C-alpha cells in the first residue's frame, strides 16, 4: 500500500478532514489531496509532520496495514479487544520489518540533518 493511501486511511480513522490536515501542515487542500493520491511525493520531513498530526509513530505509519487493524480488533459494546491471530512466524516477520523501517527512518533523518 502506498504511503499516501496509508495516510488517508489513518486520517479517516481519526475522523480528520483533508482541510484540517492541510491547515495544520500549511498547504492547500488540493496540495494535500495530491499527497494522499500519490500525485505528489511525500518527503521525510512532511511525512514526519503528518505522523505527528495524526498522533502516530512514523514507523507505524509506514507499516500500517488496515487488514491487520480490522482483522485483529473486534468491538463488543464499548470495549475493543485486540485478538492478535498472527502466527509466531508472521509476528517475527512483522517485527523484523518494523525494525528495518525504523533504521531507514533514522538514517534518512540523519541525512537530512547533515
| Torsion on CA atoms 51, 53, 46, 110, rounded to nearest 10 | -60
Q: Which residue has the higher pLDDT, 32 or 85?
A: 32
Tens of pLDDT, residues 28-79: 999 999 999 999 998 889 999 999 999 988 888 888 776 555 444 444 444 4
Query: What integer is the mean pLDDT of 86-104?
Result: 80
Whether this prediction's pTM lies above 0.85 is answered by no
Do 48 and 58 meet the contact criterion of CB atoms below 8 Å apart?
A: yes
Domain total in the chain: 1
Q: Residue 67 sits in a domain of what CATH number? A: 1.10.260.40
> At CA 82, angle to CA 77 and CA 87, rounded to 5?
145
CA distances from residue 17 to 30, 55, 63, 96 in whole angstroms, order as listed: 12, 15, 22, 33
* Structural domain harbouring 56: 3-113
Amino acid at each position: 500500500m502506498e504511503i499516501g493511501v496509508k495516510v488517508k486511511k489513518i486520517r479517516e480513522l481519526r475522523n480528520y478532514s483533508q482541510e484540517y490536515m492541510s491547515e495544520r501542515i500549511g498547504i492547500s487542500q488540493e496540495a494535500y489531496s495530491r499527497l494522499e493520491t500519490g500525485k505528489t511525493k511525500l518527503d521525510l520531513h512532511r511525512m514526519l509532520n503528518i505522523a505527528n498530526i495524526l498522533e502516530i509513530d512514523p514507523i507505524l505509519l509506514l507499516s500500517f496495514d488496515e487488514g491487520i487493524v480490522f482483522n485483529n480488533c473486534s468491538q463488543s459494546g464499548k470495549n475493543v479487544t485486540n485478538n492478535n491471530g498472527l502466527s509466531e512466524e508472521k509476528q517475527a516477520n512483522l517485527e523484523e520489518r518494523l525494525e528495518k523501517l525504523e533504521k531507514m527512518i533514522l538514517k534518512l533523518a540523519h541525512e537530512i540533518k547533515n
